[in-house]
Chains A and B, each alone.
Chain A
Amino acid sequence: MSSAFCPVKRERLLRMAENIIETNGLTRNYGDICALKPLDLQIPEGEWLSVMGHSGSGKSTLMNLVGGLDRPSAGSLQVGGKDLLALNEDGLARFRREFVGIIFQQHHLVPYLTAVENVMMAQYFHSVPDEAEARHALERVGLGHRLKNRPGELSGGEQQRVCIARAIINSPKLLLGDEPTGNLDHKSTVMVMELLKELRAEERFTVVMVTHNQEVAGWGDRTIYLDDGVLVREERMR
C-alpha cells in the first residue's frame, strides 16, 4: 500500500527542490547602456529572495525580466518551467496574470475604481470576477472596512495592502515586490512585511523583493547584492 504512494512523494520532494527561476547569462541592454550584465541565478521554489543594490544597479531590471514585463537582450530565462523568451506579447500577459503577482513602490491602483473593484479587475483579466472572493482577500489584508473606498481615500499603507490583495488574488506562484515599502513609514513597513510573511506561510509562493532597505531585506531567506548590473555578493539569512 505504502509503496504505491512512494513515487508521488518522491516527485513532490523533487519539485520542492526544483528552481522556480533559472537564468543563464541573462542580459538586458538599453541601447548602449548595459543594465544587467550576464547573470546566472537560480531561485528555488518557495524561497524569499531580497535583491539589494543602489539605484541603477539593475535590480528593477532583473525584477521586470523575471515578471515578464520586459524582455532580455540575451541569455535564457526560465520561470516556472516556461521559457519566457518564447512567449509573444499576449503569452507574456497570460503568464503575468496566471503566474505572477506584482507589488510596486508607488501603489498604482486605478484611481476611479474602489478597493474591491481594483482587486476584481485582476480577477477579470485572469478569468471572471468574483466579488465575494475579492472582498475576502481584502479582509485578509485587514481592509474589510475600506472595501468601497477609492484609492484617494486610503492611506499609503492601506493602498499598499490593496495592492497585496490584488497581487495574491489569482494565487500566483511568484510574488514580485519592487520596493513595496519604499514610500511607507516604519510602522506601515513592518505591518506590510508581516502581512506578506503571513500570506506566504499560507499560500507558499516564492517572493522576489527589490529593496534598498537592509531591514526589509532581512525578512528574506537570501539576499543578493547587485552593483552596476553584476551580482557582487550573496548572503544567506537562514
Chain B
Amino acid sequence: MAIVYKMIPHILASFGIALVMFRGFSGRRSVVALTSIAGFVAGAAGAVVLFRVYRGTIPFGVIKTALGSGFLILWGVAVGVMYRSTGRGTAFIGGERFVDSSYYAGICTVISSMVAGAICMSRLPVADSSVLKVAVFVFGGGVLACGVVFAAKILEKRLPAAVTVTQSGMLAAVMAFLLMSSSSTLRLDLFSPLSMKVMKGIHDFVHQFMESILIPDHLFVQPVVWKYIGYLFGKGVGFWGGMIIWFTPVLLIVLANQLERLPSVAHVRQGAQRRKLIFAAIEARRFRLVIPMFSVIVFAAAAYQSSFPSVEYWDPKPVPVTANQAGEIFIPKQGEINLEDGKLHKFLFKQGGREAKFFVLMTPAGKLTVVLDACAICKPDGYGQAEGSVICYYCITLIPLETVGKPGGCNPVPISFTEKADGVIIDGMTLVNTWGATVQSTARVKEGGK
C-alpha cells in the first residue's frame, strides 16, 4: 500500500507527460503511444541496472544530470522563442522538416519517458531486493505505463480541439512534470540545490568582486548601500534567486506566446471580417497559453514539494564498523564520510551475534554527538533527518537537532564517546550493552504490535 501511495506523483507525472505529448504530436499518436511505453520500460530497466551495479549516489547523479540538462535545454528554448517572438527569424536548416517528422516525435517521447521511468524506479527498493522482485517492479511499471498512456490518450481526445501546444510549451510541461516527479524524493530534488548554489554564488560574487568596497568606512559606500548589500546575505536570497531561475524559462515561453505577432489583415477589406481574423488569432494564442500556464502551476508544486519534502528524510544506509583489539571503535572525522557536515551518519556494529545501530551527528551548536538509532521508549525503528530536526520513525516525533545527545523522551539514547582531533572513539562493549538494554525493553512487542 505504501508503494502505491509513493507512486502517485510519478503516475500523475507520467500521465501528464503522455497527455502533453499526444497533444503536441497530434499527428503521430501511435508513435507517441509506442515510444512512451517503450521509453518508460527502458528507463526503468536502465535505472535498475544502474542502481544494482553502482550502489550509492551515482545512479541518482545520472538521473539528476538528465533532469538538469533538460532544465538547461528548457532555458535555451525559452530564450530562443523569446528571441523569435521579437520578429528576428532563427530558422535552422531543415529544422522545420525534422520537427514535423515522426523521428522527432519518437525521440522526444522516448527521452522524456525514459527519465520518468528512471525516477519511478528510484523510489523503489530495487538495489536490495531479489531479482524476481525487481523484475516484478519493472514489469509492473510497464503495465502501469501502458495503462497511463492509454488513459492519457483517451483524455486527450476529449480535450477541446482548440487547446493546442507549441513545441516550447510542450517542453516546459514535460520538464515541469519530470521535476515535480523528482522533487518528491530528497535525493533527486533540483530546487533546493539550485537555491543553495544561487546563495553561494551570490555570496561568492559579493566577496570576490565587491571586496574593495566591503572594507568598512569606505568613502563611496553610503550606509543605505550597506543595507542593500545586507540583503544579498539574507536568508531568502537563495530561495528567491532559485525561484527566479526556476520560473523564468516557462514565464519566458508564456511571454513569447503573448508577444507573438498577429496575422496581417490589411488585405481584408471588410472591417468585421478583419476583426474576426484577428480574434481567431488571439483566441488560438490564448488556448496555446493553457499548457504553459498549467506548467507554471506544476513548477510551483515541484518547488513547494522540494521545500517540504513530505515523505522522505535523510536516512543513509548504516555503514558497518568494527572494533580493534581493545574493543574500541574508531570513526574518522574526515574521509569517506564527513562527520562534521551536520547530517546524521548511521553505522552498524556487530559483535558476537549482537549488533547495535547508532549514528553520529554534529549538532548546530558544533558539538559531535554519538547516539543509538533508537530511543528509550519507542520500538527501534530508527531516525531520519529532516529540516532542523530528526524524526523518530516510530512515533513521528520531531526532535530538534539541538537536543540530540540529551537523554529522555523520544530522543535517541546517547552513548559516551571520546572525541579526538581526527575522529571519535566509542567503546564497543558499552555500545552493544546499551543497545541490548534499550532494545530489549522496547522490542518485546516489535512483532506483535500494531
Contacts and interface: CB of A to CB of B under 8 A. Distances in A.
B271 A126 contact: no
Interface stretch (B79-87, B242-250, B276-284, B406-414): B276-284
Main secondary structure of the interface of A (DSSP, over half): loop
B282 A171 contact: no
Interface string B269-302: 0111111101100100000000000000000000
A106 to B, nearest CB: 26
Contacts of A128: 275, 278-279, 282
A171 B274 CA distance: 11
A133 B275 CA distance: 10
A171 B273 contact: yes
B282 A126 contact: no
Contacts of B275: 123, 126-128, 130, 133
B385 to A, nearest CB: 57
A221 to B, nearest CB: 24
Interface in A83-126: 123, 126
A127 B279 CA distance: 5
Q: Looking at chain A, what size class is its interface with the partner chain?
A: under 10
Contacts of A127: 272, 275-276, 278-279
Contacts of A130: 271, 274-275
B344 to A, nearest CB: 62
Interface string A115-151: 0000000010011101001000000000000000000
A217 interface: no
Nearest to B262: A128
In this complex, the member of A127, A133, A170 whose beta carbon has the largest number of chain B beta carbons within 10 angstroms is A127
B276 A133 contact: no
A133 B265 CA distance: 14
B271 A169 contact: yes
Contacts of B273: 171
Contacts of B282: 128
A171 B270 CA distance: 8
B278 A170 contact: no
Interface in B169-204: none
A120 B282 CA distance: 18
Nearest to A168: B272
A182 B96 CA distance: 62
A133 B279 CA distance: 15
Contacts of A126: 272, 275-276
B278 A169 contact: no
Contacts of A123: 275
A53 B424 CA distance: 109
A170 B272 CA distance: 5
Nearest to B281: A128
Contacts of A133: 271, 275
A171 B272 contact: yes
Interface string A157-197: 00000000000011100000000000000000000000000
Contacts of A171: 270-273
In this complex, the member of B270, B271, B274, B279 whose beta carbon has the largest number of chain A beta carbons within 10 angstroms is B271
Interface string B353-381: 00000000000000000000000000000
A172 to B, nearest CB: 8
A127 B274 CA distance: 9
B128 to A, nearest CB: 60
Nearest to A129: B275
Contacts of B270: 171
B260 to A, nearest CB: 16
A150 B230 CA distance: 56
Contacts of B279: 127-128
B262 to A, nearest CB: 10
A3 to B, nearest CB: 28
Contacts of B276: 126-127
A130 B262 CA distance: 15
B336 to A, nearest CB: 67
B113 to A, nearest CB: 39
A171 B279 CA distance: 16
Interface string A17-43: 000000000000000000000000000
Nearest to A136: B271
B358 to A, nearest CB: 70
Contacts of A169: 271-272
Contacts of B272: 126-127, 169-171
Nearest to B275: A127
A123 B274 CA distance: 11
A127 B262 CA distance: 14
B264 to A, nearest CB: 15
B329 to A, nearest CB: 78
Nearest to A172: B272
A127 B283 CA distance: 10
Nearest to B273: A171
A101 to B, nearest CB: 11
11 contacts: A123-B275, A126-B272, A126-B275, A127-B279, A128-B278, A128-B279, A130-B275, A133-B271, A169-B272, A171-B270, A171-B271
Interface of B: 270-276, 278-279, 282
Given A127-B272, A133-B271, A169-B271, 18 more contacts: A123-B275, A126-B272, A126-B275, A126-B276, A127-B275, A127-B279, A128-B275, A128-B278, A128-B282, A130-B271, A130-B274, A130-B275, A133-B275, A169-B272, A170-B272, A171-B270, A171-B271, A171-B272
Q: Would you list the 3 A-B pairs with minimal beta carbon distance, nearest first?
A: A127-B279, A127-B275, A171-B272
